[in-house]
Amino acid sequence: MSDAQRNVVIVGASAAGLRCASRLVRLKPDWTVKIVEARKAFSYGACGMPYVLSGDIPDLETLHKTADGDVRDEAYFAQVKGVEVLTGQAAVGIDVEERYLEVNDAEGNETSLPYDDLVLATGAWPRHLPGQPDHPRVVTFHTPADVKPLHEGLARGKIGKAVIIGAGFLGCELAEAFTALWGAEVTLVEAGDAPLPGLLDPEIAAHVARHLADNDVELRCNARVAGIDADDKGVTVRIEGGEPATGDVAVVAVGVEPAVELAVAAGVELGPTGAVAVDDRLATSVPGIWAVGDVAETRHVVTGDPVHIPLGSLANRMGRTLANVLAGGADRFPPVAGASALKVFDLNVAATGLTRRAAAARGDAPRSVWISAHDTADYWPESKEIFLQLTYLPDTGRVIGVQAVGEGEVAKRADVATQLLARGATLADFAHLEHAYSPPYAPALEPLAVAAMVAENQEAGLEALSPSELCGGLEIMDVRHPSESEERSFDLKNTAGIPLDTLRDRIDDVDLRPWVVVCERGPRSAEAVRLLQTREVTAVYLGGGLRWREMATPEASESKT
């Protein structure tokens, strides 16, 4: 960029656009920076909207304020940030040769805004289902205007039963919002075989499914929507080859699509994800046009492939990076791991990197390990459980993904893992990760490091059976204390009880049959497998132990004796 005075026009007063503008006017106080925004209301913390519905956050206005209580409106951005936001102005076309943006106001008056640099921060639209009817009972949940009808419907008892289509981030958050505060019945319809299919592998997703069931959400997986019928009385969501789901309202929460209309019309190239392709300076294929936020692609830190990850945190950072780039700085937007977290009732869910499934679909041969751990020292009275999966490529030892779930602290583990993934870390790097140890905050051995050690052991021959693969027909050795086996029995036959502290003495009598060794959390059964292997007995242990299985199996709770 030249240092001469420039004229920057930004389309979209979203997180990315506002951030870019605010920083640019600081870096280049003499430049002209304008934001064009079609809506009148803007700068709502959209990620907080489900929590308005759930009552965790008192009202939408809370999401529209700074931490100091200032309302983020045109006057605020003008007075405090020095940024001009033109609301009610829809960008309708770009003349890429002459460099001006065509804008229509609500009355249909057209104006042209010349630019030196045009920033596309147009965000994303909620995806619709094919043939989705245009009816007030069939809604999406994307803008502040979407909150009020649902809130009123729930508050007035007009929505007593809802069908939510899509068990992704939003679908899971809405399922909680509908049931926890309002006591509505919810059917959560998911085309994939488990909730959060883009984020989680089945072993972790099973915890979410169990927790949704425990909280009275009817989760229907492998359920493809054949069509939606809506009338004055309610909605019927037809399911391919299954019973229809009915309710007072259907919320379509099947993801978002980048709002690329303006970009496409101007000849800006899209990437393979359908979002705008950008380089690491956030430049598009058209000179003078840039893209940030949910409309733009990023690159995945593990695969290097283009990905579309619409997250407010990335949008914010892209906006800042572009301001630095436009101002002539050397800043570049680095690849992303897709670190994510969400709360589903009392369950914390976090993940980063690739799922094992996604890696396998790319032709890799990933493997996983599973651990059941405590988030603090196990003896700390407020210690809570977490269940963590680590996925890696055996040929290089590179860790490609971490997923964790539980009542305990899991977002921390995703954040730490993200820094390591971004730097190509191997199992050895994870095994050596340093953490701030103190009984109230972490165990002496950080669960992320333990998982890496378990994976190293797996590569040395100590193999874990996936917690979702324990089933009848296997020969099971339970190495827990007899009292534990009695108190917390499980539903599978063919189980021999050989407590670990007796195994060493009895080992010569153990059959050579292939065993699946189980204990409460994993370490003791792994220890037993080691011992068995010294006598040539074939054995694997149950990854994550019986505790994982119990917490991830809806029926298991009823089979307790």
Positions annotated as catalytic residues are: 47
Smallest separation (angstroms) from its own copies to the CB of 103:
26
The DSSP call for residue 80 is I
Report the candidate in 440, 301, 466 with the shortest Cα–Cα distance to residue 384. 440
User: Whole-angstrom Cα distance, residue 414 to residue 418?
Assistant: 6
- Of the residues 110, 415, 486, 487, which one makes contact with its own copies according to CB under 8 A: 415
Distances (CA, A) of 14 to 42, 64, 345, 363: 7, 12, 28, 37
Between 68 and 107, name the residue whose CB sits nearer to its own copies.
68
Smallest separation (angstroms) from its own copies to the CB of 343:
5
Of the candidate spans 79-87, 93-101, 150-158, 536-544, the one that interacts with its own copies by CB under 8 A turns out to be 79-87
Do 444 and 431 contact (CB within 8 A), yes or no?
no
Between 11 and 452, name the residue whose CB sits nearer to its own copies.
452
User: Whole-angstrom Cα distance, residue 389 to residue 200?
Assistant: 10
Distances (CA, A) of 49 to 3, 148, 158, 313: 41, 10, 20, 16
Smallest separation (angstroms) from its own copies to the CB of 113:
23
Between 308 and 524, name the residue whose CB sits nearer to its own copies.
524
Smallest separation (angstroms) from its own copies to the CB of 95:
33
Q: Is position 280 an interface residue for its own copies (rule: CB under 8 A)? A: no
Near its own copies in 324-343, by CB under 8 A: 331, 333-334, 336-337, 339-343
Neighbours of 350 (CB within 10 A): 28
Q: Which two tokens stand for residue 362?
A: 């790319």
Q: Is position 322 an interface residue for its own copies (rule: CB under 8 A)? A: no
Site string for its own copies, 20-49 (x = CB under 8 A): ------x--x---------------x-xx-
Residues in contact with its own copies, counted by CB under 8 A, come to a total of 94
Between 160 and 312, name the residue whose CB sits nearer to its own copies.
312
Q: Is position 422 an interface residue for its own copies (rule: CB under 8 A)? A: yes
Of the candidate spans 145-153, 214-222, 228-236, 515-523, the one that interacts with its own copies by CB under 8 A turns out to be 515-523
Of the candidate spans 135-143, 247-255, 347-355, 356-364, the one that interacts with its own copies by CB under 8 A turns out to be 347-355
SS3 assignment, position 422 = coil
Q: Is position 160 an interface residue for its own copies (rule: CB under 8 A)? A: no
Smallest separation (angstroms) from its own copies to the CB of 241:
34
Smallest separation (angstroms) from its own copies to the CB of 309:
10
Distances (CA, A) of 248 to 138, 160, 182: 9, 7, 14
DSSP line for 338-404 = --EEEEETTEEEEEEE--HHHHHHTT---EEEEEEEESS-TTSTT--EEEEEEEE-TTT-BEEEEEE
- Of the residues 18, 63, 101, 188, which one makes contact with its own copies according to CB under 8 A: 63
Q: Is position 57 an interface residue for its own copies (rule: CB under 8 A)? A: yes
Smallest separation (angstroms) from its own copies to the CB of 237:
27
Q: Is position 507 an interface residue for its own copies (rule: CB under 8 A)? A: no
Smallest separation (angstroms) from its own copies to the CB of 160:
26
Overall size of the chain counted in residues: 561
Do 290 and 278 contact (CB within 8 A), yes or no?
yes
Q: Which two tokens stand for residue 355?
A: 């799922």
User: Whole-angstrom Cα distance, residue 75 to residue 82?
Assistant: 9
User: Whole-angstrom Cα distance, residue 450 to residue 437?
Assistant: 14
Q: Where are the beta strands (DSSP E) in 439-497?
A: 464-465, 476-478, 495-497
Whole-angstrom Cα Rg for the chain? 26
Q: Is position 524 an interface residue for its own copies (rule: CB under 8 A)? A: yes
Q: Is position 222 an interface residue for its own copies (rule: CB under 8 A)? A: no
User: Whole-angstrom Cα distance, residue 498 to residue 506?
Assistant: 8
Near its own copies in 299-318, by CB under 8 A: 311-314, 316-317
Q: Which two tokens stand for residue 217?
A: 């959400």
Near its own copies in 427-446, by CB under 8 A: 428, 431-442, 444-446
Of the candidate spans 78-86, 91-99, 238-246, 274-282, the one that interacts with its own copies by CB under 8 A turns out to be 78-86
Of the candidate spans 6-14, 107-115, 260-268, 344-352, the one that interacts with its own copies by CB under 8 A turns out to be 344-352
